[in-house]
Amino acid sequence: MDLFSNLALGLSTSLSVTNLFYCFIGALFGTLIGVLPGLGPVATIAMLLPITFGLEPVSALIMLAGIYYGAQYGGSTTAILINLPGESTSVVTAIDGYQMARKGRAGTALATAALGSFFAGTVTTLFIALFAPPLANLALQFGPPEYFALMVLGLIASITLASGSLLKALAMIILGLLLGLVGRDVYTTEARFTFGLENLSDGLQFVALAMGIYGIGEIVRNLENPEQRSVGVAKVGSLMLSREDFRRIAAPVLRGTGLGSLLGILPGGGALLSSFASYAVEKKFAKNPKEFGQGAIEGVAGPESANNAGAQSSFIPMLTLGIPSNPVMALMVGALIVHGITPGPAFINEKPDLFWGLIASMWVGNLMLVILNLPLIGIWVRLLTVPYNYLFPAIVVFSAIGVFSVNNAGADVLVMAGMGVFGYLLYKLNCEPAPLLLGFILGPMLEENLRRSMLLFRGDATQFLTRPLTASLLAIAVVSLLVVLLPGMSRKREVVFKE
């Protein structure tokens, strides 16, 4: 059976001492930043990206992935213990998790979160192994027009599933696409939007852009709200689950895993949407919905499984199509490109050790997190007492050095400073930056595929609508946009996100 030999290859790659080490480092760093509020996975990955440039591509990818799912774990720990979600994906966990902690069941809640996440991680690893290769094979037959249509659909879908104003998100995508075009045009070698600056002829540096908007912009934003972190930490108590607990979490974990794996694939989906959706579902299924908000164990088990499953399955479109579905995946694409690898449908066949090694490492990393995190909870909690006022100067310093070291260029650091101001402006104007980042990554690819398509079509754009596959992809994009723009729907959408 192919699947098993592939997984065996993956395991042998990911279990090498070096990769095990980087997996561990990634998971550890991920948990660390998950615990610390005010420092998200995007900023951390951007900050650590330069360090990975010296590594083998597979080690680099394994470490970056570890940061991503490690952050999900860490975020839930603080959500449960002090009602302070370290990551946005743990916001719903805090609702019932903290109530459980207040009733002296913090240990049970933490164990539930860990076991649910581990189960979801295991299932999703298999899910990726099963579905990624056929999807990639399908995508191998795509020509430029299909790719163009797919990217348009991906970009549109990513904003219909996100919260906030749709028009603004659409504008942010286009602005991102335009920023992505800065630099020398590969076809005509004309310098575009560079103001004659040599430093910009290779384009805006991606790490500088991401770090500026997510790192620097976020720090300034956090400084607006003076610190208020003198919270009582709940006693952890027993980590054991009773038989009754196991009976109650079984179904939510299964549902959460299923929901998360599916929603994670969708562009713009991923961990955040999955956890919210799962909480809503569990509330509907519950025999006693009144218990939700009062410490229902289902309200921890479901969302925690779902966010982990969603975090992992969001790797599928990135690995098989080369299309990132959220900012973290955009950073992964950026990392791969630096290593000279362009993710896409050929990736699985050309770099099987890389692909399967990454998949297997997710399972290994999840196992590591369960073993590590439960005993280490005490240390994580103590970390929370580090004041943000002392933390953020260090973040500023590290990100500046990191951005500089990518090309040894001070100009990139200046770009980061500018993007920091821009990111803060976006926050002031209530514009969500994620679509901009996706647009930025996809800009050059979108243009190239459009140009090739038009050559193929001999300049006749209507052929996008006469080819069945491109036509249906574009039709789905238009319909999903219209559906969300309809007044009735947009109101409903707001309600969903408010819950």
Partner 1 sequence: MTGNSFRKALLSQDGLSGLMFMAAAGGFAYLAQDLSLGTALRMGAGYFPLVLSGLLALIGLAILLRALASEAIAPSAIAWRGLLLVVASVLVFGLGLGRLGLGPCVGIATILSAMASGQVGWRAAIALAAGLVLFTWAVFILGLGLPIPMLGSWLS
Among 450, 473, 474, 477, binds partner 1 (CB under 8 A): 450
Closest alpha carbon to 108 in 119, 96, 118:
96
Q: Which of 459, 468, 487, 488 binds partner 1 (CB under 8 A)?
A: 459
Which of 421, 476, 481, 484 touches partner 1 by CB under 8 A? 421
User: What is 457-498 written as a DSSP string?
Assistant: TTT-TTHHHHSHHHHHHHHHHHHHHHHHHSHHHHHHHHHHHH
Name the minimum Å distance from CB 438 to partner 1. 15
C-beta closer to partner 1: residue 26 or 97 = 26
Longest alpha-carbon distance in the chain: 70
Which of 379, 394, 465, 496 forms a contact with partner 1 (CB under 8 A)? 394
420 part of the interface to partner 1, by CB under 8 A: yes
CA distances (Å), origin 238, targets 105, 111, 183, 221, 376: 7, 9, 58, 38, 14
Question: How many C-beta atoms surround the C-beta of residue 5 within 10 A?
Answer: 10
Q: Is residue 410 near partner 1 by the rule CB under 8 A?
A: yes
Residue 184, helix vs strand vs coil? strand
97, 165, 312 from 68: Cα distances, Å: 22, 27, 9
Q: Does 156 bind partner 1 (CB under 8 A)?
A: no
CA distances 142 to 9, 358, 399, 455, 467, Å, are 28, 25, 39, 16, 12
Does the footprint of partner 1 cover residue 374 (CB under 8 A)? no
Report in angstroms how near the CB of residue 335 gets to partner 1 at its nearest.
17
Quick one: 46 or 300, whose CB is closer to partner 1?
Answer: 46
Beta strands in 151-236 (DSSP E): 183-184, 191-192
Determine if 406 is a binding residue for partner 1 (CB under 8 A).
no
Regarding 185 and contact with partner 1 (CB under 8 A), the answer is yes
Q: CA-to-CA distance for 409 and 198, rounded, in angstroms?
A: 11
Q: Which is nearer to partner 1, 181 or 337 (CB)?
A: 181
Measured CA to CA, the distance from residue 165 to residue 167 in angstroms comes to: 6
Between CA 298 and CA 275 the distance in angstroms is 12
Judged by CB under 8 A, the residue of 177, 209, 328, 329 near partner 1 is 177
**Interface with partner 1 by CB under 8 A: which range of 219-227, 234-242, 319-327, 473-481?**
219-227
Tokens matching residue 298: 């289902």
CB nearer to partner 1: pick between 178 and 367: 178
Residue 451 amino acid letter? R
Pick the closer one to partner 1 by CB: 130 or 186.
Answer: 186
The neighbouring-strand residues paired with 192 are 183
Task: Please select the residue that binds partner 1; options are 171, 251, 262, 469, rule is CB under 8 A.
Answer: 171
Q: 184 - beta bridge partners?
A: 191
Among 235, 242, 393, 482, binds partner 1 (CB under 8 A): 393
Q: Rounded to whole angstroms, how far apart are CA atoms 485 and 186? A: 36
Cβ pair 95, 78 in contact under 8 A: no
Q: Per rule CB under 8 A, is residue 198 in the interface with partner 1?
A: no
Identify residues 48-107 at the interface with partner 1 (CB under 8 A). 51, 54
| Residues near partner 1 (CB under 8 A) | 51, 54, 165, 167-168, 170-171, 174-175, 177-178, 181, 185, 187-188, 190, 192-193, 216, 219-220, 223-224, 226-227, 388-390, 392-394, 396-398, 400-401, 404-405, 408, 410-414, 416-417, 420-421, 424-425, 428-431, 447, 450-451, 454-455, 458-459, 461
